[in-house]
Amino acid sequence: MFYTGGLPFNFARNPNYISAFSFAANHSLGGYVPPGYNKLRTTLLQQEKTNVERLLEPIKSTWMEKGVSIVSDGWSDPQRRPLINFMVVCESGPMFIKAVNCAGAGEIIEAKNVESNQETYDECHWITDVYGDVMVIKNFIMNHSMRLAMFNRFSPLKLLSVADTRFASVVVMLKRFKLIKGALESMIVSEQWGQYREDDQGKTRFVRDKVLDENWWAKVNYILAFTAPIYDMIRMFYSEQWLEEGEGRVPPHMDGEVSIERNKCFRRIFSEDERFKALDEYANFSLKSGPFEDPDSIGARFNTEPMKWWACFGSNAPLLQKLAFRVLGQPSSSSCCERNWSTYSFIHSIRRNKLIPKRAEDLVFVHNNLRLLSRVNSKYYDGKEKMWDVGGDDFGSMEDVGVLQLANLSLDEPELESVFFDEDANDIMDKENDQIEKIQ
């Protein structure tokens, strides 16, 4: 399969591949005939889809309590049929639901417990524009091995992809860009960059102009400046240690701006009776009184993840606990939908353009959600199956990465960084550095 079918070697870590061959090696299968072409694409595909739906039920059972985000994105398949990709994102990760062929038709998606934040989105859209510029620069460098090697000569830090479903992915990515600003500027004005010739001159100019634009960097700094208190507040959870570490830090009930916005939030979310109960719960939380005066509850605020803290100590404040689960478990981006198109294009490629939309949708459903189920398994982070879908054989390219996509690399996950950059990375970089020296 690997030498005739073109499978990437990283596929050998796929848990399904391992379990299938382990089962075959340890059982007598005399007379067994593997399924044929028609059965694989019809009967067995539907059976596997049903099996995956069954395996997803434990994740779905948490939706009513913790809430979900429904995200969507548009795409055209190889035959130019317009599709809308629908996914549900929750604490466990993005779950593929369906891809709707919207050519000449409309569809209504029923959604319960879903809130619209269009007004906030409109006001903050410029932030996504800046982040979009960052992603263009990042992809421009990482999608070409020579440009990536050139960058690595100027920067001791790696230019990583950050999963948009991870905590504060935009903030994390902008922080990394601020740290590598000097390296990017040095690379852009270097002799190597001047000698390098790129086919897409428009994109090259765009990257150069942004990196050397101090006004653009001022926007990056501004985003980091006004999001820092929010980031820290959610990360550190208003513990006494956090309040004492910085000058001017005050608890939430003493912060006028936070209090005003919190009350607006309560009025929008809770009914009148519930709102006064929520205010009473919040008063106890802020004053560390009533159910929140327990020493373990107070001590755990600093070193426990907020969602876990609310799970352990929030049962006597059910309204706030429910709100905390919903807020802390939601993503702020629909990029998982955009990333899912790489899976779609991998399955419904030009070479497989005769797939009917429904069969392609079923294949994407099984493919994407099996990966989700794999990642919520503890074995995904240990042993021979460790992060089987991260990296791959050609780490210098992020174009059409298909199964082995790099989207979930995160600065929160150093073990992913080590797998991605330590395995064979030195050999690859040596080769690319040799190419740059030839240019010089």
pLDDT one-digit tens code per residue, 23-78: 989 998 888 888 898 898 899 999 999 999 999 999 998 888 777 878 777 766 66
pLDDT category of residue 348 using cuts at 50, 70 and 90: low
Laid out side by side, the sheet with 93-101 consists of 69-76, 82-90, 93-101
Structure tokens at 205: 């100019």
Q: What is the mean pLDDT of residues 282-304?
A: 88
Q: Give the DSSP per-residue string, 200-249.
A: -HHHHHHHHHHHT-HHHHHHHHHHHHHHHHHHHHHHHTT-HHHHHHSTT-
Residue 393's domain spans which residues?
1-237+330-440
Answer with the residue of higher pLDDT: 305 or 27.
27
Domain boundary among 278, 301, 328: 328
Q: What is the mean pLDDT of residues 77-81?
A: 67
**Number of domains into which the chain is organized:** 2
Name the residue among 203, 182, 204, 180 with its Cα closest to residue 193. Answer: 204
Residues 39 and 139 in one domain: yes
pTM of this prediction?
0.54
Residues 149 and 12 in one domain: yes
Q: Which region, left, alpha or beta, applies to residue 16 given φ > 0 means left and ψ of -120 to 50 means alpha?
A: alpha
CB-based contact 353:79 (threshold 8 Å): yes
Residues 267 and 212 in one domain: no
Structure tokens at 338: 């955009």
pLDDT, tens digit, for every residue of 202-248?
Answer: 888 899 999 999 999 999 998 888 777 666 555 557 667 767 777 77
Domain boundary among 328, 344, 359: 328
Residues 46 and 186 in one domain: yes
CB-based contact 286:253 (threshold 8 Å): yes
CB-based contact 10:392 (threshold 8 Å): yes
pLDDT at 55: 94
Residues 232 and 269 in one domain: no
Which has the minimum average pLDDT: 103-112, 147-156, 290-299, 313-322? 103-112
Helix axes 145-154, 125-142, angle to 10 degrees: 100
Residues 395 and 262 in one domain: no
Q: What is the mean pLDDT of residues 276-288?
A: 91
Residues 281 and 359 in one domain: no
Nearest-angstrom CA–CA distance, 77 and 246 = 52
Residues 303 and 192 in one domain: no
Domain boundary among 313, 328, 343: 328
Residues 139 and 283 in one domain: no
Q: What is the mean pLDDT of residues 367-384?
A: 81
Residues 278 and 409 in one domain: no
Residues 305 and 350 in one domain: no
User: Of the ranges 158-167, 270-279, 376-385, 412-421, which is most confident?
Assistant: 270-279
Residues 92 and 35 in one domain: yes
Answer with the residue of higher pLDDT: 430 or 276.
276
